Amino acid sequence: MDRERASEVGLGIKNRFRAKLALALIIALFSGTAPAQTPPPQDAVRARAVTQTQNAPQSAPVPSPMPSAPPHPAGFVPATTRTIGELRAAIEEILHQPELAPAQFAAKVVSLDTGRTLFELNADKFMQPASNMKLYTIAAALDRLGPDFRFTTSVYAQTRPDASGKIRGDLIIYGRGDPTFAARFYDGDYYRAIDELAEKIVAAGVRRIEGDLIADESYFDGIPFGSGWEVDDLQWYYGAEISALTINDNSLDLFVKPGKRAGEPGTVTTGPETSLLKIINRTVTAPRGARRKLYVYRPLGENTLEVGGALPEDDPGYTASVSISHPALLFASLLRSALEKRGVKIRGKTRTIDAYMRRTAPFDPSSLIEIAQRQSPPLGQIIAQTLKPSQNLYTELILRALGNATRIDPKQSSEEAGIEAVKQFLRKAGIDEDRVQMVDGSGLSRSNLVTATTTVQLLTYMSRHRYAQVFRDALPIAGVDGTLRNRMRGTAAEGNVRAKTGTINNAASLSGYVTTAAGERLVFSLIVNNLPREADARRVYLDAIAILLAMFAGRS
C-alpha cells in the first residue's frame, strides 16, 4: 500500500486490513532445503534445531549452523593488489562474470583516511537496498535518541490496590514499542520477560483485578505492517505485524515432527505455547527414506495455522517461525497466565485497544495511576540485536519510536514521522535526501531506493559520530557473528569486515567498513539488483569484492 493512500485512509485501515485479508499462503517444504516458494528472510532463514519432546518447548531452539557460502565466484581466486589500478582491475574481473551480465551493480569504495575514492560504478544510480535500509534507520535513531534510550512499558490502574490487593476497574498494560519481550534477550526463554512484568505487578500488591486486563497498543498508529510490504512476506517472522506491545518477535516457533510409525499423525507444537493460535494438524508419518513434503497455511489476519503433508519416520523434524495476527492479544494472554500462576484473580476478560479505537479519546495517563513499569535494555544493546541478525520488526519499532519522539505534524502516522526524522538526520549529515527514497525502516519493501554514494556518505558520517563505536559494534563481523558469521571465513576479511548485509528476492547488498592489509580504513557499499539467482550465489560477488579490499596492500 502506498504512503499517500495510507495517509488518506488513516487509522481505521488497521482493523479493516485485518478483516479483509483472506489470502493464505501454501508453501511446499522439501527436505534439506528452504522451499523455493517461500520468500527468503531478509538475510537468512532462521535454521532451528528441533527439540525432541512432545510438548511445546519452554525455550527458543538454538539456531543450527548455516552452510557457509563460497568465498568467491567459481574460477576466481582473489589476490593481493598493490595499486589502485590493480584493485580496480580485480574488482572489474569479478563484475565481468557472465552471470552478472543481466544484473545491475552499484559500488563505491572510499578511504576514511584520505577521502579518496578507490572504486565506483553506477554509484549514483537508484538501487533497492534490501536490509541496508536498516543502516539509515538505526543511524538516525542513535543520533536522535542516543544509546541510553530505553523503551518503557507501563501498567496503569484507576486505583491502587487496597489492603486486600484488589484493584477496582481495569488493569491497563500500555506499550511503547519495546522489542525486548523476546526470547533472544533471555537466553532463549520465551516467558522470562513476561514473568518479570508479572512479578512487578504482584510486587505492587495486586492480588485481584475486578475489571478487564487490557493490552493498549495505541502508542503506534497507522497500519500494522511496513508500507509496501508484499503479501507473501506476511506469514513469516520477517514480515511480522508491528505493534506497540510486541511479544517474542510477534511470531511463534513452529515444530513439526514425525510420529513413531508410518501412518501415524505427526506432532505440531509451538513456542511459546498458547491457546490463541488454533492448530490444524494434517500431517502424516511416511516410511523411512521417503521424501519430506509439507505445507504451512495461515489465512492472513487470522490465528489459525494448518500444517499438512508427510514426514518420514527418520526425519529430524521441521521448524519455522510463523508470524501471528494481533500480537498485543498474545501479549495479554501470556501475561494473564503469568499473573494467574502467581495467584492473581482476574474477574474480567482479556482485550486490546489500538489507535483506531482511541481516535476520539486518546490515551491519557494523567487520569490513571502507574503501579508498575518495565524498562528495556538500552538502545545501544538493542541495535546490536537488530543489525547483526537483520531483525525487521525491531527496526520498524525503532523507526516508530523515533517518529513519536520527534513528530511535529499530528496528521502523520508513527511510521511517516519516523521517516521524516530520518530525512532530518540526512540533512544534518549533509546527505541529499532526494537520493534516498524510504518507505519503511527495515528494507523489506521493494519501493525503497538508495545509492551507493549516499550509503557511503552515511557510513562515513557515522564513523566520526559521537556514537561511532556503538554503531560499528552493532554491525555483523565477517566469519564471526550475525548474518556474516558463515561468510568470508578463512580469508583476510574474517574478523575484519564489519558490514550490513541485505537480501530480498533478486537483490543483495553489503555495506560497511574494512581495514586493508596496509592498515588503511575503507568504507564501501556494494549493491546488486535484478540477479535471479539463489541468495548465496548473489552474495558471493559481494563477498569477493570485500575480500579484495581486505587484501589490498597499497595506499589511496
- State phi, psi for 184 to the nearest 5 degrees: -65, -20
Exposure pattern of 240-272 as b/e (b: 16+ CB <10 Å)? Answer: bbbbbbbbbbbbbbbbbbbbeeeeeebbbbbbb
3-state secondary structure 214-283: EEECCCCCCCCCCCCCCHHHCCEHHHCCCCCECCHHHEEEEEEECCCCCCCCCEEEEECCCCCCEEEEEE
Contacts of 365 by beta carbon, 8 Å cutoff, 6+ apart:
154, 156, 174
- Chain-wide mean pLDDT for the chain? 88
Q: With a cut of 90, say whether residue 49 has pLDDT above it.
A: no
Q: How many CB atoms lie within 10 A of CB 59?
A: 17
Spot the catalytic one: 111, 390, 413, 445: 390
Is there a contact between 303 and 240 (Cβ–Cβ < 8 Å)?
no
What does the pLDDT look like over 496-509, one tens digit per residue?
Answer: 999 999 999 999 99
pLDDT tens across 183-227, in order? 999 999 999 999 999 999 999 999 999 999 999 999 999 999 999
pLDDT in tens, 230-286: 998 999 999 999 999 999 999 999 999 999 999 999 999 999 989 999 999 999 999
Comparing CA positions, the residue from 225, 229, 222, 217 lying closest to residue 9 is: 222
Q: How far is CA 300 from the centre of its chain?
A: 19
CA dist., res. 375 & res. 326, Å (int) = 23
Place of cell 491502587: 160
Q: How is 417-443 classified by DSSP, letter by letter?
A: HHHHHHHHHHHHTT--GGG-B-SSSSS
Is the predicted pLDDT of residue 70 greater than 60, yes or no?
no
What is the predicted pLDDT for the residue at 56? 39
CATH class of 84-146+380-551: alpha beta
pLDDT on residue 535: 60
What distance in Å separates the CA atoms of residue 137 and residue 369, rounded to the nearest whole number? 34
Q: Is 337 part of the annotated catalytic residue set?
A: no
C-alpha grid cell, residue 417: 514521522
Backbone angles phi, psi at 541, to 5 degrees: -70, -40
Backbone φ, ψ for residue 475 (5° rounding): -80, 145
Which residue in 131, 154, 413, 445 is the catalytic one? 131
Neighbours of 93 (CB within 10 A): 14
Write phi, then psi, for 299 (nearest 5 degrees): -60, 125
Residues 6+ apart with CB under 8 A from 382: 179, 180, 376, 394, 398
pLDDT at residue 16, rounded to an integer: 38
Q: Is the pLDDT of residue 4 over 50?
A: no
- Is the model's pLDDT at 480 over the cut of 90? yes
Residue 98: the pLDDT is 86
Q: Which residue has the higher pLDDT, 65 or 443?
A: 443
Task: Please give the residue that has the higher pLDDT: either 69 or 234.
Answer: 234
Question: Measuring CA to CA, how many Å separate 85 from each of 51, 91, 165, 545, 554?
Answer: 54, 10, 76, 15, 10
**Residue 131 annotated in active site:** yes
Is position 64 annotated as part of the catalytic site? no
- As a whole number of angstroms, the distance between CA 386 and CA 370 comes to 30
CATH 3.40.710.10, the chain: domain bounds: 84-146+380-551
- Residue 529 parent element (H or E): strand 521-529
341-396 pLDDT tens trace: 999 999 999 999 998 888 888 888 999 999 999 999 999 999 999 999 999 999 99
Catalytic option among 14, 108, 134, 388: 134
Contact call for residues 316 and 256 (beta carbons, < 8 A): no
Strands 171-174, 213-216: parallel, antiparallel or unpaired by DSSP?
A: parallel
Cα 386 to Cα 72, 128, 381, 501: the distances in Å are 27, 20, 9, 12
